[in-house]
Amino acid sequence: MIRHKDILKLAIPNIISNMVVPLNGIIDIAILGHYGNISQIGALALASLIFNFLY
C-alpha cells in the first residue's frame, strides 16, 4: 500500500528539478545580456526553449 509520505519522497525532487530547468535559461540570458550582441541572445533563447521542450 502506497502512503502519502512515499509519494512525497518521489514528488518533491521532481518538483524542484522542474523549477530549476527554466532558471537555467534565465541565468544564461542574464549573463549573455552583458555582451550586448542581440543575435547571440536570440540564439540562446531559442536553444533554451528547445532544451526545455525536450527535457
DSSP string, 1-45: ---HHHHHHHHHHHHHHHHHHHHHHHHHHHHHTTT--HHHHHHHH
Q: What is the pLDDT of residue 50?
A: 86
Give the pLDDT confidence of 1-55 residue by residue, as tens digits. Answer: 778 888 999 999 999 988 887 787 788 778 877 877 888 888 888 887 888 788 7
**Euclidean distance between CA atoms 45 and 27, whole angstroms:** 11
pTM attached to this predicted model: 0.53
CB 45 within 8 A of CB 25: yes
Domains of the chain, residue spans = 20-55
Reading the block at residue 48, the C-alpha cell is: 533554451
One-letter amino acid at 29 equals I
Reduced to 3 states (helix: H, G, I; strand: E, B; else coil), residue 46 is helix
Q: What is the pLDDT of residue 26?
A: 81
